Structure 1
Amino acid sequence: MERSVQVGPRAPKDPTKQRKGFYIMIDSIIEATERQEGKPAQEIYLDDGRLANKAKIVGGIEDEDILKLLENSNGLHKLVHSIGISVMTIGEAGNIDFVLQNYGKIDKYGSGTVIREHCNTDGSELILTLEDYEWSKDDEVLGKFDFEFEKPGELAKVTVKLYLHDGFEIPEMTIDPPVEFQSPEYNAMLVKSMLNLGNNNRFKAAAEKARRGENVTIAYIGGSITQGAGAKPINTECYAYKSYKKFKELFGKGSGDNIHFVKAGVGGTASQLGMIRYDRDILRDGKVKPDIIIIEFAVNDAGDDKKGGCFESLVLKSLMEENKPAVILLFSVFANDWNLQDRLEPIGRYYNLPMVSLSDAIVKQFYLDRETGGVITKRQFFYDIYHPTNEGHRIMSDCLGYLFEQMDKKETDEADVLINKKPVIGNAFAGVKLLDKKDNTNKAAILEGGFTSTDNELQMVELDANPFGSPQFPYNWMRTPESGEDSFRMTIWSRSLLIIFKDSGRADFGKAEVYVDGKFVLTADPHINGWTHCNPVFLYDEESPSEHQIEVKMAGDSLGKYFTILGFGYTI
């Protein structure tokens, strides 16, 4: 089914009466990101309950009947009369188009209605009245808004309001007062963020090295928050870059040019992938020896199949480096107050590592007003239900900066952290290595079969201070419908093995079956997550290494489709 792409009526209309409504974005800064197809854009995803969460957090909607209507297209049309979009360009940004995309029932990205409108960029409101458009019967859910720019890196400030049909009652919303970043209440919040001061032996060594003018590298590994999601611009307003600058100010010599920055956050991925890409993304295949490593996976590690074993392995992998880097654990939090701090904090306590908790700092004060100790509201802290705004990233940075200062003030711990002991959860993957088409010298015997192509449509990530995305796992094996039905086969000596495959929202990507030593292990389905994403899955985890034969072949209903093996993670 073809999607319906429309533009709205151009003739002037009588003024629309003032309707009740609620905001889902208020003065949100957006940034044009380069895409593999189409114009540079800021994509605002609204499926999977995100729209209802925006209504709740940003709009203050608590009526469950109204929130329920936002879960699908039919309910949205019953509730929403029109959409107001206000855009104000920042700096040299040019023209901006607003795109509304519904996801379809038949083809998620191909059969839903798409509406495109040119925005006013002077802050005046553009009203889209829903009844003025034709809507596909295949519409399932409001999938996303796109704000399309002329060039990547351009910025704008956006407000979006949903105006309701008559008969719906909602409370009036009050605008939050500005955050007072220098107030005593703010400083008290930073104090609460310091979950554990920890052993400062390694950190003090790095700080003194920096003061002497020697080269010091501070590195960050984590999920989308470490990547910088929600920060605009993503490369300079993210917590990682801002806390790196704080470290430079505190300890760098002169202008701080001796302090270097490595950022390796990958959206939607857990420490299960982080431990595999550590050598590539943090050590840069041996070219970098970080002095400080900050690990942030507290809101991603529901995807750790080993329930903390991959996280502890990553922590130990970092601590065991020959140059003895300081390791700091950072626990971020979602807008529903959830994270995995309860699971991961015992690991930090066990090795007496410095730890920062955003949930300890901010969650309780979310439920207070300014008179009783509130510092920042949820709608000020969160860009969406997962990621911080610029203000939120600043708070994360300030929490780390407070930890830096307190570790520096404390007398140096004489003894180093003790790591040669029984793990809390598990250390079986501390030696995990990446295997891909590039890094496979004498590690595995591979027959590519029909998986001979290379996939270039990959998850893109802004590494370090770069504003542009870098492709993840570019040395991959892709199967195309034209490349035949022969299986991918690999013989490898290992104790454990993970396959990393590409998730995709494209309908022409299919499922693959994975066999180990002739026995079926799993079906790799690229549509479970529904977006271009790296997905690591365990194939086996044994007590001792042995030789195994791996086979990957297309499932019977996917013979005419694509599938991409991004790589493998293995231990011996």
Structure 2
Amino acid sequence: MQSEEIRGPKAPKDPIKKRPFFFIMQGKEIFGAPQPDGRGIQFIYESDGRLINAARIAGNITDDYMLELLKTTEGFRKMVHSIGVSVSGRIKEEKVKFVFQMYGATQTDQTSTQIVMDLEMDGMEKIIKMSDVDWKESDREPGQIRFEFDTPGTQASVDVRFYLNSGFVAPIQPLESMVDFKSEGYKQMIGRSLMHMGNAGRLEKVLEKAGKGEDVTLAFIGGSITQGAGAIPIHEKSYARVFADTFEEKYANGGKVTLLKAGVGGTPSELGMVRFERDILREGNKEPDLIVIEFAVNDEGDETKGVCFESLVRKALDLPWKPAVVLLFAVFSFDWNLQDRLGPVGIRYDIPMVSVLDAVSPQFNLLPDDGRVISKNQFFYDVYHPSNLGHQIMADCLINLMDSVNGHISDISSEEKPIESILPVIGKDFENVELIDARDMIKMKSKYRISGVETGSFDGIDKELQMVEMDKEIVPVPEFPYNWYHSEKSTGVGSFKMNITCSKLLLLFKDSGNPAFGTAQVFVDGKLVMEADPLKVGWTHCNAVIIFNNEKTESHSIEIKMAEGMENKRFTILGFGVVA
């Protein structure tokens, strides 16, 4: 039987001329993280300047007026005619839902617009016109993009274009070249990351231990970059995981390499120093051989301007088994970090420091023919976080440090001074800080003479907490699950109260974007010392603030209660940081 000949149309129409456009995503890798309802979702937040940054980096937009329009839904609608989306994946027929959500008065406003489009992962672009969208009056700003999969764990790459209304002109869109990891330019770029070798004796011992076939534990503490934000999938492609895998392949001689990854998004060393024992030492069950500290892009909000960071460094250096400590300075897309503030800490204790900023930022503005190795669009996933390529480069910067140490111990090690004999360069106020929460309150009662504890209306347990992917796991776990929670359903009455003897005290509380939360007041010895507003940041995450920082250890009465008019709102005390 003769097969039917396949023919094309006899008179194909001329192609419709496309409007000028710019990318906000080009070849962006996505991963459907498992959700409680069984789906997989990739969240990409576009608020707080992220969409503007995507237009700059992925779309080559430099016009200030066009960038300004992206701040609001009104401006977005004025400029954008339509959105084009294409998704490429291993299974072309698999479905994916594209959702572009506007934010209203709050991020959780259910009345705001959601632009929805169903696609297959076949790489074909589908376009939705903004004139076909049912816009809501409550829309305030472009909020987030989601790619929703029926099957969790699905990986794909996406392009998203904004096609422009008449009167707007888009610049030529950049086409990326592949990164040559074996080129001399790449090696030189990675080499620039070694900011300070310092006394590498502790690092040499880590390498010696691995070379003997002994088990090695590698620990990382930091913010969202250490958590793996921007890496797809987050549990496999984060810089910490890539470094651990490369270390095992390159240096381990049969021993097990354990990864302790403890990054918590949006949090500074002010919180990191309090959760160090629980998240890094696992409450005394782990003794890491290497501790990488990464807070150089998170500590701008640190109210001590470096005292918390140095306290954390001293805490790590002073552990009895003397782990190697490395300071890692990540970078934001606007070529910024806090290494000028925090670098002197590394110099004072003569410990190795690695700067990703020093490696990549000098070459971003070059043309490929002039020595550019990787573009900003390739390195960054969004304004704050590296892409898979960026995470790979961060891992390579750390491996470069290990390579520089390996075999050169006689040149780069010297006898250490005891930590207590080294004067701090910024401050060490919190080097002995400990966490107290609802679970450990009884255990800490004797040490801090805790008495008169009344939970009052803070008698619940908040389970809707900041979730983070730890170690090599994809399933996130809650931070500070042993908390005190006040809600409109609380059965208890009155304030949270306790008497405690200490010199320094921090409050850990939950931020939220949910307007059901409200402000709590903190009193010390009957005097109002602060008001904690969980809505100020606008999303669910952990916050640490100093209640007092005194030289003298004294007994104090602490009271926390809802502010006037906020009694029917919610507030979560995650715990306290205490120094004797």
Using structure 1 for the length normalisation, give the TM-score: 0.95
- Matched residues in 2 for 1:277 and 1:241: separation? 21
**Are the counterparts in 1 of residues 93 and 121 from structure 2 also a CA contact under 8 Å?**
no
Give the equivalent residue in structure 2 for 1:242: 242
What do residues 161-214 of structure 1 show as CA deviations (whole Å, max 9, x unaligned)? 100001111211130111111100000011111001111111111211111122
Give the equivalent residue in structure 1 for 2:223: 223
- Matched residues in 1 for 2:251 and 2:89: separation? 37
**Are the counterparts in 1 of residues 201 and 409 from structure 2 also a CA contact under 8 Å?**
no
Secondary structure of 1:345's aligned partner: helix
Give the equivalent residue in structure 2 for 1:524: 532
- Matched residues in 2 for 1:329 and 1:58: separation? 30
- Matched residues in 2 for 1:45 and 1:189: separation? 30
1:546 aligns with 2:544: no
1:277 aligns with 2:275: yes
- Matched residues in 1 for 2:106 and 2:433: separation? 40
Secondary structure of 2:325's aligned partner: strand
Give the equivalent residue in structure 1 for 2:380: 382
Shift of 1:249: 2.4
Deviates more, 1:76-85 or 1:166-175: 166-175
**Are the counterparts in 1 of residues 91 and 121 from structure 2 also a CA contact under 8 Å?**
no
Give the equivalent residue in structure 1 for 2:316: 318
Shift of 1:109: 2.8
Which of 364, 369, 372 is residue 370 of structure 2 equivalent to? 372
Secondary structure of 1:137's aligned partner: coil
Aligned CA distance change for structure 1 residues 571 and 120 (closer, same or farther; 3 Å): same
Paired residue type of 2:468: V
Give the equivalent residue in structure 1 for 2:55: 55
Shift of 1:139: 0.6
Deviates more, 1:306-315 or 1:29-38: 29-38
After TM superposition, list the pairs within 5 Å mapping 1:34-433 onto structure 2.
34-35=34-35, 39-90=39-90, 94-105=94-105, 109-254=109-254, 257-412=255-410, 413-416=413-416, 418-419=418-419, 420-433=421-434
1:459 aligns with 2:480: no
Aligned CA distance change for structure 1 residues 92 and 177 (closer, same or farther; 3 Å): closer
Shift of 1:547: 1.0
Deviates more, 1:343-352 or 1:477-486: 477-486
Aligned CA distance change for structure 1 residues 38 and 75 (closer, same or farther; 3 Å): farther
1:468 aligns with 2:466: no
Give the equivalent residue in structure 2 for 1:4: none
Give the equivalent residue in structure 1 for 2:6: none
Unaligned runs of 5+ in 2: 1-13
- Matched residues in 1 for 2:93 and 2:381: separation? 21
Secondary structure of 1:128's aligned partner: strand
Aligned CA distance change for structure 1 residues 247 and 461 (closer, same or farther; 3 Å): same
- Matched residues in 2 for 1:151 and 1:92: separation? 14
**Are the counterparts in 2 of residues 473 and 567 from structure 1 also a CA contact under 8 Å?**
yes
Aligned CA distance change for structure 1 residues 347 and 130 (closer, same or farther; 3 Å): same
> Percent sequence identity over matched residues?
47
- Matched residues in 1 for 2:227 and 2:499: separation? 35
- Matched residues in 2 for 1:129 and 1:304: separation? 44
Deviates more, 1:391-400 or 1:204-213: 204-213
Paired residue type of 1:197: M
- Matched residues in 1 for 2:174 and 2:52: separation? 19
- Matched residues in 2 for 1:215 and 1:453: separation? 42
Secondary structure of 2:272's aligned partner: helix
Aligned CA distance change for structure 1 residues 227 and 90 (closer, same or farther; 3 Å): farther
- Matched residues in 2 for 1:501 and 1:63: separation? 40
Paired residue type of 2:474: P
Deviates more, 1:89-98 or 1:356-365: 89-98
After TM superposition, list the pairs within 5 Å mapping 1:13-52 onto structure 2.
17-35=17-35, 39-52=39-52
Shift of 1:490: 1.6
Secondary structure of 2:309's aligned partner: helix
Give the equivalent residue in structure 1 for 2:7: none
**Are the counterparts in 2 of residues 272 and 311 from structure 1 also a CA contact under 8 Å?**
yes
**Are the counterparts in 1 of residues 199 and 414 from structure 2 also a CA contact under 8 Å?**
no
Which of 484, 487, 490 is residue 498 of structure 2 equivalent to? 490
Aligned CA distance change for structure 1 residues 353 and 106 (closer, same or farther; 3 Å): closer
Aligned CA distance change for structure 1 residues 107 and 363 (closer, same or farther; 3 Å): closer
- Matched residues in 2 for 1:252 and 1:106: separation? 50
Deviates more, 1:139-148 or 1:205-214: 205-214
Structure 1's consecutive aligned runs of 4 or more residues displaced over 6 angstroms after TM superposition are none
Shift of 1:557: 2.7
- Matched residues in 1 for 2:563 and 2:39: separation? 35
Shift of 1:15: 8.3
Aligned CA distance change for structure 1 residues 421 and 106 (closer, same or farther; 3 Å): closer
Shift of 1:63: 0.5
- Matched residues in 2 for 1:236 and 1:386: separation? 19
Paired residue type of 1:454: I
Aligned CA distance change for structure 1 residues 299 and 31 (closer, same or farther; 3 Å): same
Secondary structure of 2:124's aligned partner: strand
Aligned CA distance change for structure 1 residues 313 and 106 (closer, same or farther; 3 Å): closer
Shift of 1:92: 9.8
Shift of 1:17: 4.3
Shift of 1:141: 0.3
Aligned CA distance change for structure 1 residues 15 and 561 (closer, same or farther; 3 Å): farther
- Matched residues in 2 for 1:284 and 1:105: separation? 40
Shift of 1:37: 6.9
Give the equivalent residue in structure 2 for 1:8: none
Shift of 1:35: 4.0
**Are the counterparts in 2 of residues 195 and 355 from structure 1 also a CA contact under 8 Å?**
yes
Shift of 1:36: 5.3
Deviates more, 1:237-246 or 1:408-417: 408-417
Which of 566, 572, 577 is residue 569 of structure 1 equivalent to? 577
**Are the counterparts in 1 of residues 92 and 121 from structure 2 also a CA contact under 8 Å?**
no
Paired residue type of 2:383: I
**Are the counterparts in 2 of residues 36 and 457 from structure 1 also a CA contact under 8 Å?**
no
- Matched residues in 1 for 2:197 and 2:341: separation? 19
- Matched residues in 1 for 2:154 and 2:458: separation? 38
Shift of 1:90: 3.7
Shift of 1:91: 6.1
Paired residue type of 1:533: H
**Are the counterparts in 1 of residues 192 and 358 from structure 2 also a CA contact under 8 Å?**
yes
Which of 489, 500, 514 is residue 508 of structure 2 equivalent to? 500
Shift of 1:144: 0.6
**Are the counterparts in 2 of residues 202 and 416 from structure 1 also a CA contact under 8 Å?**
no
Q: How many residues align?
A: 557
RMSD: 1.7
Aligned CA distance change for structure 1 residues 113 and 37 (closer, same or farther; 3 Å): farther
Aligned CA distance change for structure 1 residues 429 and 36 (closer, same or farther; 3 Å): farther
Aligned CA distance change for structure 1 residues 332 and 528 (closer, same or farther; 3 Å): same
Shift of 1:89: 2.3
Using structure 2 for the length normalisation, give the TM-score: 0.93
